[in-house]
Amino acid sequence: MKVNNIKELILKSAKQTAQSHGYNGLNFRELASMVGIKAPTIYHYFPTKADLGAAVAKRYWEETAEELEEMLKKFADPRECLRRYSQIFRRSLEDGNRLCLGSFMSAEHDDLPEEVKAEVQAFADINIAWLARVLAAAEGTEATVSQKRAQAIFAAVAGAQLMARSRSKISIFDDLMDSYRAAGLLPA
């Protein structure tokens, strides 16, 4: 499967770094040393930083989309899927207190090249579309209604992750999910 090992490594390292330090925090010299190459070599695989950023963000949402699809196949119960959805964000926190790449890049919106912005939006889109589908299945709501609700859940979960990260405390994330359930935003 791995057609190109170096390119693979660059993408993986860039993703990890961007989840901790953002797009602005990505720098080619440090990235190169993680991979074991020199900075100019990265340009052989990615002509500009914008290309690398877009590639990282694209892969990020593609991997997420795949994981969400798998989930639907494995778990028939929509409620179980919803519970596992928030676990994706929780796992980022477990893995070095990392933030969702989409959230970090949303904050960096003003500094992002257009092609990167587009991938960040795609990430939000696939999350919301998936949530809307699952919500419709769980509660039998109409498409437009579950779409709005899906958007709200996505924004709220992202906000919860951001807040937990700011205190480096995963229990805050869990508490917030409980509160969302108690308030009625997430199904009980």
Partner DNA sequence: ACCTGAACACCGTTCAAGT
Binding residues vs a copy of itself (CB under 8 A): 20-22, 24-25, 97, 99, 102-111, 117, 120-121, 124, 148-149, 151-152, 154-160, 162-163, 165-168, 172, 175-176, 178-180, 182-185
CB-nearer residue toward a copy of itself: 25 or 47: 25
CB-nearer residue toward a copy of itself: 74 or 155: 155
- The answer to whether the CB of 170 falls within 8 A of the CB of 161 is no
CB-nearer residue toward DNA: 38 or 74: 38
> Of 4, 112, 9, 127, which is closest to residue 53 (Cα–Cα)?
112
> Of 175, 109, 180, which is closest to residue 149 (Cα–Cα)?
180
Amino acid at 16: Q
Q: Which does 49 bind (CB under 5 to 8 A by kind): DNA, a copy of itself, none?
A: DNA
CB-nearer residue toward DNA: 24 or 141: 24
Which ranges of the chain would DSSP assign to H, the alpha helix?
A: 5-21, 28-35, 39-45, 49-74, 78-94, 101-107, 114-139, 143-166, 170-183
Q: Which does 85 bind (CB under 5 to 8 A by kind): DNA, a copy of itself, none?
A: none
Residues 6+ apart with CB under 8 A from 58: 119, 122
> Looking only at residues 23 through 42 of this chain, which bind DNA when binding is defined by CB under 7 A?
26-30, 32, 37-41
CB-nearer residue toward a copy of itself: 37 or 126: 126
What's the CA angle centered on 20, arms 19 and 26, to 5 degrees?
Answer: 80
Per CB under 7 A, does 104 bind DNA? no
Q: Interface residues with DNA (CB under 7 A)? A: 4, 6, 26-30, 32, 37-41, 43-45, 47-50
